[in-house]
Every structure is written in structure tokens, then in C-alpha cells.
């Protein structure tokens, strides 16, 4: 067994998987924190992206400008346009006047970027287990990652202070379905179907389950390439529906709106996600639906019907049966389930996101989970954990419930990778040295500390650039007790403040030093300080800024925000501690004794 990234010299981060999310992270590491030691483990022999669905001619559903980095850094050497230039196609691409490249070309772009980080990736590495390692102080400060080399069978161990999990979704397959060469999930479509159904003239009976983009593209593929086939499309709704691509709804995939989403209450987020579902899930791009309909109409003209839609239905069972397969279909409205016979079934039923319970067996007990058993993920994409687990587990694409529908998509990758590497660089570097962790709510009770913060008005905000010394600025800050687990500090900065880029998405320490003590508290002159550790983020949306100000109510700051020269800063409080001498007896008892003659 070889040891790389030893406990004595661990990696700052190990990325699990090297798909688009972690390729974007590799770019961000190079551009934002190049001194961090990182490694990526990928099971495939090279970088792959939904290869099962790279059907010829299918297009991206977003603009090429939503590549891995452009929206964060237009001057990066890893943009899609840099790729076009490197391939000698830039002018031709511009000549196409096409915002949405084919998926095949986008995959080529992803591979072009990935190739430039080849020295940071171990391909053929299948991660088997992640285990927290206890240090001499009793903290679980490192992760051990055990991986198997898929070519040699060798088991390799790596150690890291942080992991970034980006292994993608798992195919959603009903329990009573037995997969095989003729019953498959859409993720295995291209590697399987052309090889299994070689005769393109035969009168095949195909079935497709689902109503999303994958189902639409697969139904079209069958009808187009197997000219005598019939296709049964089994879908949960009344009919296929078009993706809501309107630009207003699409604004939910903006960075600022993802921030807004995650700041809402849970029931609010659920309702919002449900109303926006048709911008992504269970829908087919409108132009593609037209193509599919034209194809079926051309069949009608020839006097045959080849697409049969079974609406309000779901596939519940399926398996091989003699030469064909048997498919159990249940109606949404109850009643007898019907049985369909076909030669092939493709489940275009989407994906589930969860942390593999076997891989994370030793880590799961330390992770915070929500009512539905999902890990609770902070705004910087770190899974919240018990205090004992001080190494960081970050996830990409596993926080849709708290971070919005964009969490599983490409749109936000440039921003997310920045948030993650900024947090990691600060946690593992100068910030960790500058701000040793405090127990949350340590010292006097949180209510006392909160009251003192209210009275202070201003705090000194300390942040650190990766690899550099902390920098500090004094800022008026108010405490909003109604948001976040421990409250949220809110303040307003000038847009030109040079601190801005250093504060965004990072860990900060706010130090409050009340100058005069309230009755019953230490008297003026006593050394007093309240430390608030938290995670900062900027609020650039003017309406939100004004709304926040109205809620927390510092009247003098409203006009400044309305004038447009301001940016809000929110600090979600993670830890709160006070350092000042309280008398040994409880405050209430002391007040009582002071009234005695
Ligand atoms: P999807 O949008 O999640 O759609 C899967 C659908 O299958 C859901 O509506 C689901 O309904 C339904 N379903 C689940 N179980 C079923 C069953 N047993 N029988 C019948 N229907 C069932 O999945 P997708 O189409 O694979 O798309 C996933 C993502 O990939 C989307 O973001 C999509 O835009 C993207 N994509 C992009 C392209 C492209 O860029 N060209 C191509 C393909 C996919 P319930 O949720 O009600 O269970």
C-alpha cells in the first residue's frame, strides 16, 4: 500500500470526482489560492461528462458564456472562447452566431480544460472510503481517503484537511426494475443501445419512461434512427411540457438570487423550488418538442402512428421476459396497473443526490442533517458538522434544498468554486492561525453578548487573504436576531471599499469593544471584547439591501443604501464569545445583594 498525502503532510484539499464542478474548482485554486496543495481523484480513465447522453446534434441548454469560469473571471485562460481560439475555430464559431454549442463540443471544451490540470488528477481512482482521523489533541482534523486503482487493483491512501465531494447524481431507478442490456437508465444510453439494437430496419417496440429532456431526446433518437420502430413514452403528467426558459424566471440562476434563495426560510424555499421546477426538471426544450412533434406528424402523413404517449403513468416494475421485456405501468389516478411488452426500456427518470452511506460510513455520525436526512450545507458549501470534526467536507451539487435549483447545474460553477476555495484557503491558512476556533456561545450567555453588540453599533471586522496577513476595517454593524441559527450581523460598506473582495464569501471575525458598560456589567475601563466568528457575504441587490435595512431598522443608513454607493454585508454568526471580567456570583444575585442595606 502506497501512502501519498501523508498525515504529516496532508493535501489542503482532495476533490472527489473530476467532472465539471471539480474542474471549475481546479481553475479557481490556480487563480485564487495557487499555494494550496490539491489533488483530484477520478474513477474514469479521462474526463467525461454525461457520455451516455452525448447524442449527436443535441445542444447545450445554456449560453457558452456560462462556461467554467467566464462569469467569475473573463480574462481567465480557461474560458470557452479561449478554447475556441486554441482550437483555431474562434472566427468560425463567431460566424455561427450560436450561443448554445453542441453538447459534444462543450464536452471537448471541458476535456481541453481538464487536460491542463492533468498533473493534479489521478484517473482510474475509485474512492472506496472516507475516514476522519483523530489528532493528538483529540480533534478529527484530517480525512483519510481510501481509493482503488482500477487498472492495478492497488489500494492507495491519501490524507487531506478538506474534501470537495463532486461525484454527481445516482440514476433514479424504481426498486422493482432489473437493469440489463435491454432495460437501462438514460445515463447508459449511448454505450448500450446502438450495440444492443443493431438492426435499424426492424420493427422494434421501445419504451421510454420520463418526461424530461433526456426522455424527449431518447424518444426522438429512436423514432429518427429506427425508422420502423414504435415508441411508448410513459410519463407522469398529462403530456410533455416545455422548459420555462423565460429570462425573468432564468434570473433565479444568477449568483445574487442563489444567495437570496438560501437566506429564505425552509417553507419559503420549498414553495419557491416547486414553482420553478419547470425551468429544469421534467421538461423538454421548446424547439426540441417542435422537432419531435414534426417527426410524429410526418409519420401520420405516411399513415402510421409510431409515438404512443401513456400520460399520467409511471413505470413501477420491469425485467427480461423471454425474448423481450415486461413493463409494469401504474396510473397516477389508481386503478389496475397495465403490463406493456417491449424489446427495450430506457428509464429517463433523472437522478438522486446523496452521500454514499458506505463510502461515508465513518463520517456520517459527525454530520448535521435536516429533517429529510440530507446533510445541512452552509453558504460556502461546507457540510455542517459537530465541533469534533474540524476537517472540512464541502459538497458540489448536493444542496439544492438550501441553495436553489442552480445547485446541480453548470450556471453557478464559477461562483461556487470561488466560494469553496476561498473558504478552504482561509480555514486552512492564515485565517485559522489568526482566529483560533472558539466554542460557540462561550463565556457569558448569548443574550448578554447580543445586548452588548446592540449597544456597540460598530465592530472591527477582521478578514484574511489566502496566504497573507489578516486585514481589518471598522464598520457599523447591527444584529438581526431573527435570521440564521445564532443571528446575523448586518452592515453597509462603500462600494469602493478595498476590503470588499476580501470579505465576500469568507470567514471573518467581528470584534466589538463596548466603551461604557451597562448597569450590572463590568464598569468602564474594564477590558471588554466580544468576538463574533462568522461567514460573510455581500448583498449587492439594491432592493434586498433596502429591505434588510428596513427590517433591522438603522434609519440613518437607509438613504446611503438608496443612493446606490453601498454594498451590504451579512455575517452569519457561527460562534460568539465574550472576554470581560464578570463578578463570580450570577448577575441577578449580585443586583439583589446590592439592594441590601
Ligand atoms: P429529469 O428532468 O429529472 O426528469 C425525469 C422525469 O422522470 C421526472 O419528471 C420524473 O417525475 C419522471 N419519472 C421518475 N420516475 C419515473 C417513472 N418510474 N416512470 C415515469 N416517469 C418517471 O431528468 P432528465 O431528463 O434526465 O434531466 C436531468 C437534467 O439533465 C436536467 O437539468 C436536464 O435539463 C439535463 N439534460 C440536459 C440535456 C441537454 O443539455 N441537451 C439533455 C438531457 C438532460 P417525478 O419527478 O414526478 O418522479
In tens digits, the chain (597 residues) has pLDDT values of 445 689 988 999 999 999 999 999 999 999 998 888 899 999 999 999 999 999 999 999 999 999 999 999 999 999 999 999 999 999 999 999 999 999 999 999 999 999 999 999 999 999 999 999 999 888 999 999 999 999 999 999 999 999 999 999 999 999 999 999 999 999 999 999 999 999 999 999 999 999 999 999 999 999 999 999 999 999 999 999 999 999 999 999 998 888 889 888 989 999 999 999 999 999 999 999 999 999 999 999 999 999 999 999 999 999 999 889 999 999 988 877 899 999 999 999 999 999 999 999 999 999 998 888 889 999 999 999 999 999 999 999 999 999 999 999 999 999 999 999 999 987 644 444 445 555 555 566 777 788 888 878 788 888 755 444 456 778 888 888 888 777 889 888 887 776 677 677 777 888 887 665 555 555 544 456 788 888 888 888 777 777 777 776 654 555 555 556 778 888 888 888 776 544 333 334 334 434 443
Q: What is the pTM of this model?
A: 0.75
332-337: list long-range contacts, CB under 8 Å, 24+ apart.
332/236
Q: Are residues 118 and 228 in the same domain?
A: no
CA of 281 to the centre of ligand 1 (A): 6
Domain boundary among 351, 368, 398: 351
Atom index in ligand 1 nearest the CA of residue 55 equals 41
CA of 234 to the centre of ligand 1 (A): 12
Atom index in ligand 1 nearest the CA of residue 234 equals 20
With b for 16 or more beta-carbon neighbours within 10 A and e for fewer, the 329-344 pattern comes to bbeeeeeeeeebebbb
Atom index in ligand 1 nearest the CA of residue 59 equals 41
Identify the H or E element spanning 190: helix 189-196
Question: Which residue's C-alpha comes closest to atom 39 of ligand 1?
Answer: 60
Q: Are residues 507 and 393 in the same domain?
A: no
Q: Are residues 549 and 424 in the same domain?
A: no
CA of 211 to the centre of ligand 1 (A): 6
Task: Say if CB 491 and CB 473 are below 8 A apart.
Answer: no
CA of 280 to the centre of ligand 1 (A): 9
Atom index in ligand 1 nearest the CA of residue 314 equals 19
Q: Is residue 146 part of a domain?
A: yes
**Nearby residues of 314 by Cβ (< 8 Å), 6 or more positions away:** 174, 209, 234, 236, 329, 330, 332
For the chain, the domain total comes to 3
At 303 the pLDDT is: 96
Atom index in ligand 1 nearest the CA of residue 351 equals 3
At 160 the pLDDT is: 96
Rg (C-alpha) for the chain, rounded Å, is 28
Q: Is residue 269 part of a domain?
A: no
3-state secondary structure 510-557: EEECCCCCCCCCCCCCCCCEEEEEEEEEEECCHHHHHHHHHHHCCHHH
Q: Are residues 346 and 357 in the same domain?
A: no
Q: Are residues 463 and 542 in the same domain?
A: yes
Q: Are residues 40 and 72 in the same domain?
A: yes
At 118, is the secondary structure helix, strand, or coil?
helix
What's the CA gap between 126 and 473, in Å, rounded? 46
Pocket test for ligand 1, best of 56, 213, 217, 327 (most atoms within 8 A of CB): 213
Task: Say if CB 390 and CB 425 are below 8 A apart.
Answer: no
Q: Are residues 120 and 130 in the same domain?
A: yes
CA of 209 to the centre of ligand 1 (A): 9
Q: Are residues 343 and 375 in the same domain?
A: no
CA of 397 to the centre of ligand 1 (A): 16
At 536 the pLDDT is: 84
3-state secondary structure 387-436: CCECCEEEECCCCHHHHCHHHHCCCCHHHHHHHHHHHHHHHHCHHHHHCC
We report the CATH number of the domain holding residue 219 as 3.50.50.60
Q: Is residue 305 part of a domain?
A: yes
Question: Which residue's C-alpha comes closest to atom 38 of ligand 1?
Answer: 213
CA of 501 to the centre of ligand 1 (A): 38
CA of 163 to the centre of ligand 1 (A): 29
Q: Are residues 158 and 143 in the same domain?
A: yes
CA of 107 to the centre of ligand 1 (A): 20
CA of 44 to the centre of ligand 1 (A): 24
At 335, is the secondary structure helix, strand, or coil?
coil
Question: Which residue's C-alpha comes closest to atom 40 of ligand 1?
Answer: 60
Q: Are residues 303 and 404 in the same domain?
A: no
Measuring CA to CA, which residue among 463, 483, 482 is closest to residue 473?
A: 463
CA of 400 to the centre of ligand 1 (A): 16
CA of 284 to the centre of ligand 1 (A): 9
Q: Is residue 180 part of a domain?
A: yes
Q: Is residue 262 part of a domain?
A: no
Question: Which residue's C-alpha comes closest to atom 9 of ligand 1?
Answer: 282
Atom index in ligand 1 nearest the CA of residue 409 equals 32
Task: Say if CB 443 and CB 579 are below 8 A apart.
Answer: yes
CA of 181 to the centre of ligand 1 (A): 21
Question: Which residue's C-alpha comes closest to atom 18 of ligand 1?
Answer: 315
* Helices 103-115 and 20-32: angle between axes, nearest 10 degrees: 40
CA of 341 to the centre of ligand 1 (A): 23
Q: Are residues 314 and 183 in the same domain?
A: yes
Atom index in ligand 1 nearest the CA of residue 281 equals 2
Pocket test for ligand 1, best of 281, 289, 316 (most atoms within 8 A of CB): 281
Please return the burial class of 586, using the count of CB atoms within 10 Å of its CB with bins 0-12, 13-18 and 19+: exposed
CA of 184 to the centre of ligand 1 (A): 14
We report the CATH number of the domain holding residue 485 as 2.30.110.10
Pocket test for ligand 1, best of 282, 292, 346 (most atoms within 8 A of CB): 282
Pocket test for ligand 1, best of 104, 236, 242, 406 (most atoms within 8 A of CB): 236
CA of 408 to the centre of ligand 1 (A): 13
Atom index in ligand 1 nearest the CA of residue 216 equals 25
Q: Is residue 248 part of a domain?
A: no
Domain boundary among 321, 351, 381: 351
Residue 162 phi, psi dihedral angles, 5° rounding: -140, 145
Q: Is residue 543 part of a domain?
A: yes
Pocket test for ligand 1, best of 239, 350, 409 (most atoms within 8 A of CB): 350
What is the domain extent for residue 420?
A: 13-168+353-431
Q: Is residue 3 part of a domain?
A: no
Residues at CB less than 6 angstroms from ligand 1: 53, 58, 60-61, 103, 172, 174, 186, 209-215, 217, 234-236, 280-282, 314-315, 348-350
Question: Which residue's C-alpha comes closest to atom 15 of ligand 1?
Answer: 349
CA of 25 to the centre of ligand 1 (A): 26
Q: Are residues 205 and 293 in the same domain?
A: yes
Domain boundary among 415, 431, 447: 431
Question: Which residue's C-alpha comes closest to atom 2 of ligand 1?
Answer: 281
Amino acid at each position: 500500500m502506497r501512502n501519498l498525502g501523508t498525515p504529516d503532510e496532508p493535501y489542503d484539499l482532495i476533490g472527489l470526482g473530476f467532472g465539471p464542478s471539480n474542474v471549475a474548482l481546479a481553475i479557481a485554486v490556480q487563480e485564487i489560492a495557487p499555494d494550496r496543495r490539491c489533488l483530484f481523484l477520478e474513477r474514469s480513465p479521462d474526463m467525461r461528462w454525461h457520455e451516455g447522453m452525448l447524442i449527436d446534434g443535441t445542444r447545450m441548454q445554456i449560453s457558452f458564456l456560462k462556461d467554467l469560469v467566464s462569469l467569475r473571471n473573463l480574462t481567465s485562460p480557461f474560458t470557452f472562447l479561449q478554447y475556441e481560439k486554441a482550437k483555431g475555430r474562434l472566427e468560425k464559431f463567431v460566424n455561427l452566431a450560436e450561443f448554445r454549442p453542441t453538447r459534444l463540443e462543450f464536452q471537448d471544451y471541458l476535456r481541453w480544460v481538464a487536460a491542463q490540470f492533468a498533473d493534479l488528477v489521478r484517473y482510474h481512482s475509485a474512492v472506496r472510503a472516507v475516514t476522519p482521523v483523530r489528532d493528538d489533541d483529540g480533534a478529527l482534523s484530517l480525512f483519510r481517503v481510501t481509493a482503488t486503482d482500477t487498472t492495478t487493483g492497488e489500494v492507495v491512501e491519501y490524507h487531506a484537511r478538506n474534501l470537495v465531494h463532486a461525484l454527481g447524481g445516482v440514476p433514479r431507478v424504481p426498486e422493482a426494475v432489473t437493469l440489463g442490456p435491454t432495460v437501462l437508465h438514460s445515463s447508459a444510453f449511448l454505450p448500450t443501445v446502438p450495440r444492443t439494437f443493431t438492426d435499424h430496419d426492424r420493427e422494434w417496440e421501445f419504451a421510454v419512461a420520463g418526461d424530461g429532456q433526456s426522455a424527449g431526446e431518447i424518444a426522438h433518437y429512436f423514432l429518427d434512427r429506427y425508422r420502423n420502430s414504435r415508441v411508448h413514452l410513459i410519463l407522469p403528467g398529462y403530456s410533455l411540457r416545455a422548459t420555462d426558459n423565460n429570462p425573468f424566471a432564468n434570473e433565479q440562476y444568477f449568483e445574487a438570487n442563489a444567495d437570496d434563495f438560501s437566506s429564505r426560510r425552509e417553507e419559503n424555499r420549498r414553495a419557491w423550488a416547486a414553482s420553478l421546477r419547470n425551468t429544469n426538471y421534467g421538461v423538454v426544450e421548446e424547439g426540441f418538442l417542435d422537432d419531435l412533434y414534426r417527426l410524429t406528424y410526418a409519420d401520420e402523413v405516411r399513415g402510421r402512428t409510431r409515438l404512443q404517449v401513456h400520460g399520467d403513468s409511471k413505470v413501477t416494475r420491469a425485467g427480461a421476459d423471454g425474448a423481450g421485456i415486461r413493463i409494469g405501468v401504474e396510473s397516477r389516478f389508481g386503478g389496475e396497473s397495465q403490463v406493456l411488452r417491449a424489446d427495450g426500456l430506457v428509464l429517463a427518470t433523472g437522478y438522486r443526490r446523496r452521500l454514499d452511506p458506505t463510502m461515508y460510513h465513518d463520517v456520517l455520525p459527525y454530520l448535521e442533517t435536516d429533517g429529510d436526512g440530507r446533510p445541512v450545507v452552509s453558504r460556502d458549501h461546507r457540510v455542517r458538522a459537530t465541533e469534533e470534526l474540524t476537517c472540512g467536507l464541502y459538497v458540489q451539487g448536493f444542496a439544492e434544498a438550501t441553495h436553489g435549483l442552480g445547485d446541480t447545474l453548470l450556471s453557478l460553477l464559477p461562483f461556487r468554486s470561488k466560494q469553496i476555495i476561498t473558504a478552504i484557503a482561509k480555514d486552512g491558512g492564515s485565517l485559522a492561525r489568526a482566529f483560533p476556533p472558539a466554542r460557540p456561545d462561550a463565556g457569558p450567555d448569548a443574550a448578554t453578548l447580543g445586548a452588548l453588540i446592540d449597544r456597540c453599533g460598530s465592530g472591527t471586522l477582521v478578514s484574511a487573504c489566502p496566504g497573507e496577513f489578516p486585514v481589518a476595517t471598522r464598520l457599523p454593524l447591527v444584529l438581526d436576531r431573527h435570521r440564521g441559527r445564532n443571528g446575523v450581523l448586518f452592515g453597509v460598506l462603500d462600494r469602493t471599499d478595498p476590503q470588499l473582495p476580501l470579505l465576500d464569501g469568507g470567514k471573518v471575525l467581528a470584534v466589538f469593544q463596548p466603551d461604557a458598560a451597562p448597569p450590572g456589567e463590568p464598569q468602564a475601563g474594564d477590558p471588554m471584547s466580544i468576538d463574533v466568528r462568522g461567514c460573510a457575504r455581500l448583498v449587492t441587490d439594491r432592493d434586498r439591501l433596502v429591505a434588510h435595512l428596513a427590517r433591522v431598522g438603522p434609519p440613518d443608513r437607509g438613504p446611503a443604501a438608496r443612493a446606490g454607493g453601498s454594498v451590504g454585508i451579512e455575517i452569519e454568526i457561527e460562534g460568539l464569545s465574550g472576554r470581560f471580567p464578570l463578578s463570580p456570583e450570577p448577575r441577578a444575585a449580585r443586583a439583589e445583594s446590592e439592594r441590601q442595606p
